[in-house]
Structure 1
Amino acid sequence: MVLLKQGKMLTNYQMPGVYLQKVFSIPEPELITGVPAFLGLATAGSFNTPQLLTVWPQFEQHFGQSLSKSYLGYAVRGFFENGGRLCYVVRIEEATQSALPAGLDAIAPLDTIDLVCAPDIMLARQEADIRVMQNAILEHCELLGDRFAILDAWNRSIPEIQQQQQRLSNINGALYAPWLKVPSLEKATGTTLSEVPPCGHIAGIYARSDRAAGVYQSPANYVLEGGLDLSLTITNADFERLNSKSAKTGVNCLRSLTGRGIRVWGTRTLSSDPNWRYISVRRLFLTVCRWIERNLANVAFAPNDFKLWLGIERELTAYFESLFRQGALKGNTPQEAFFVKCDAETNPPEIRDSGKVVTEIGLAATIPCEFIIVRLIHGSTGVTVTT
């Protein structure tokens, strides 16, 4: 055994043999989820420069007091109120079609974020402008392939929200309604309540849910903190209209439930594809892609042979087994929950000659329980309740 003296390893070996060295490996950086980038208007700070925040008071330090016509401060405050711990804020020049792309370009290189929120685009006067900007955010998330958009519905009637819903379609985003009534940030005006988009509060719930259970847990049925009331009461009939089969995509609603507070009621994406219907399923796959990009980058330029294929299979299998143990994947055994295939069949000579290595993976993601059926069976011996 190699001895340590005053913190230094002795290396003057005198006799041939086997020597044991204790080496403590440095842990890999943790892959954190529930980290949003907020884009909006502010009174201070550099334009299109992401600023990391870990607590709410840092917002005014970097961006000044919230503008009278801005929802950015409310979104960031709502994020931290609901369990968020880490976010980036980007000050954009205007909440317009021409200014938004520069803000999106600023957050594109960030590999630490997995959520995008832009509450101030709801300030646009024209509905068409809002639609264009929301679709730009969705396209940004789709192009990057590692982030998910939290979008705000119009602060209007249910039929108008339906119209907005019908014009949005993407697997990398979700729509939330209605708006929230929250304590005003404008102390000088004496206004006590302000109506604001919910995206920041929702992002905080995503972060809270990820820490409590994991990214595969639906960020729904959580109490929303910081909201005193809703701008619109969504009835059961309204909820059914917004989430019917004919609607194809869903609207996740904030509902004030008797004795249970304001809760997030819904976990649907903006996709009509049944495979990507649920937020938790889509975010699980996005997180897997982030993990692969971070942990398999070291195999680039390695010899494309059996050893490489075996190493890729081993790394991915270990990761997916950890997801299976956490409950992210369904099945009684790992073999039922996932598969990894990287061999001569997925990498024929023409693929290898082009400098590529192809790995096929399959994951059986758990599906959220949306409907709880309770049966009351009346019989001669009494009533039996089954679920």
Structure 2
Amino acid sequence: MVDYQNKAPGVYIEEITPAGPIAGVGTSTPALIGTTTSLAPDLTMGKPVLVTNWTQYTANFGGWQAGLNLPYAVRGFFENGGTTAYIVPVTDMTGLPGALDQLTRVPDVSLVAVPGLVDPAAQSTVIAHCEDMRNRFAILDGAPDSNPLKADGPLQKQRAGLLSHNGYAGLYWPWLVISDPLAPAATPGTVTVPPSGHLAGVMARSDAQRGVHKAPANEPVRGAIDLGYPLNDSEQGLLNQASINAIRRFPGGPPLVWGARTLTDGTPWRYVNVRRLVTYLEASILQGVRWAVFEPNNTALWKGLERSISEFLTRAWEAGALFGRTAAQAFYVKIDEELNPPAVRDLGQVIVEIGVAPTRPAEFVIVRLGLWAGGAQLSEG
């Protein structure tokens, strides 16, 4: 600030730093909750710990142990392209509520998984946490099941107990078969592990390569050599109707994520990428307009907010995240007297209305094959 008290009367130029463009928040940092082999002396049970590689994880929590799902999930996360994760060690699932409470204090978490947890009541607490925070998505493991379509079987009973009205969770099945790291080199074996840690890595990789707007499906699951249950098309069709995301293995290829639905009961939030995209947009805008707090609530502020938010959404549209031939078709930003009458301004509030048209995945690709005979076309829909 220039000290004008000691200057001669006149006109002076003072440069100010304008509000910068809105930066996108991170979308691929999971919190992985579970029991560990050990715990470093300086760590506390139930407190999130940031790790950036497998070696750092083993130094803090130990390595492999038969019956523990967390080490396999963490290794699967890093194998599939993940770079940063919070590990929350718990003694058992009685520590889950406390772990989730601790995660409310870690704003950069965007995914939550409890590898191996298949109890729908406990999983519902994870969903509720994500819905309350509104900036993260729950990756849930489906229950192991030898008959996934049986109404009173483990998987269908689990699914019946899960719901996220606004799509903050996805359920994935079956479990993955990986090489057993505890097996002797002379007699290698396999072990079946829950998919949620690997899926967190798949989402991180997809976000980095394509963007959060791309459905994290039709993506290979690195480290998986087979599946605990080989689904066929008719079985998956029924699971897909129940919003259970399948992991499939097609001839000659690796296991692939082959579903992108959330656990919602409505259409708007049906797809994983739509939910995660809108979460990303909301979190980025909330973080990017903090400069406006305590500013004079006038039309100059409104124009500044409109300009900043529109610029950010234009970048999202240009990246292919929003649908429309023009930016005007892809989104709108409204901030005016209608939304902000004197009664609202007197409360110290500024209301901005934003509408976006997210791109949705091509879940069903219809190929129409035509046969030409004497100029006539015969086609199968």
TM-score of the two chains, using structure 1 as the length reference? 0.86
Distance 1:348 1:323 in 2: 30
Specify which of 193, 197, 200 is matched with residue 200 of structure 1.
197
Q: Secondary structure at the match of 2:296?
A: coil
AA of the residue aligned to 2:80: N
For residues 140-177 of structure 1, the C-alpha deviation after alignment (integer angstroms, 9 at most, x for no partner) is: 00000100000000011302322222221111000000
* 1:241 CA drift (Å): 1.2
Asked if 1 retains the 8 angstrom alpha-carbon contact of 2:240 and 2:259, the reply is: no
Residue 5 of structure 1 corresponds to none
Match of 2:216 in 1: 219
Distance of 2:254 and 2:66 partners within structure 1: 28
Q: Match of 2:299?
A: 306
Does residue 281 of structure 1 match 2:254? no
Q: Does 1:267 pair with 2:256?
A: no
Aligned to 2:91: 93
* Equivalent in 136, 139, 142 of residue 150 of structure 1: 139
> Normalising to structure 2: TM-score of the pair?
0.88
Task: Work out the number of aligned pairs and report it.
Answer: 360
Report whether the alignment pairs 1:138 with 2:127: yes
- On the 8 A contact 2:21/2:308 being kept in 1, the answer is no
SS of equivalent residue, structure 2 residue 220: coil
Of 252, 264, 267, 2:245 maps to: 252
Distance 1:318 1:101, change over 3 A: same
Let me know the Cα RMSD of the aligned residues.
2.8
How far is the alpha carbon of 1:354 from its aligned partner?
1.8
- Distance change (3 Å), C-alpha of 1:29 and 1:57: farther
For residues 290 and 370 of structure 2, the distance between their equivalents in structure 1, rounded to whole angstroms, comes to 58
Distance in 1, matches of 2:291 and 2:322, equals: 27
Whether 2:48 is the aligned partner of 1:50: answer: yes
Shift of the 279–30 alpha-carbon distance from structure 1 to 2, 3 Å rule, reads closer
- Give 2:163's aligned residue: 169
What is the percent sequence identity of the aligned residues?
A: 36
Q: Where does the alignment leave 5 or more consecutive residues of structure 1 unmatched?
A: 1-15, 123-129
Q: Distance in 2 between matches of 1:321 and 1:166?
A: 40
Tell me which of 347, 351, 359 is aligned to 2:352: 359
The whole-number CA distance in structure 1 between the counterparts of 2:35 and 2:95 is: 11
- What letter matches 2:196 in structure 1? C
Letter in 1 for 2:172: Y
Mapped partners of 1:50, 1:226: distance in 2: 26
User: Where does residue 117 of structure 2 map in the other structure?
Assistant: 121
**C-alpha separation in 1, matches of 2:349 and 2:12:** 41
- Contact 2:46 / 2:95 at 8 angstroms: preserved in 1? no
State how far apart, in whole Å, the 2-side matches of 1:89 and 1:186 are. 22
Structure 2: 5+ residue runs without aligned partners?
1-9
Question: In the TM superposition, what is the alpha-carbon distance from 1:27 to its structure 2 partner?
Answer: 9.4
Q: Is the 8 A contact 1:39 1:120 kept in 2?
A: no
> Quick one: distance in 1 between partners of 2:70 and 2:104?
19
Q: CA deviation at 1:29?
A: 7.0
Bigger RCO (CA 8 Å, 6+ sep): 2
Matched letter for residue 44 of structure 1? L
Deviates further, 42-51 or 79-88:
42-51
Partner of 1:125: none
Moved more, 369-378 or 193-202: 369-378
1:339 partner SS: strand
Q: Matched residue of 2:268: which SS?
A: helix
Matched residue of 2:257: which SS? strand
Tell whether the 8 Å contact from 1:256 to 1:263 is kept in structure 2 after alignment.
Answer: yes
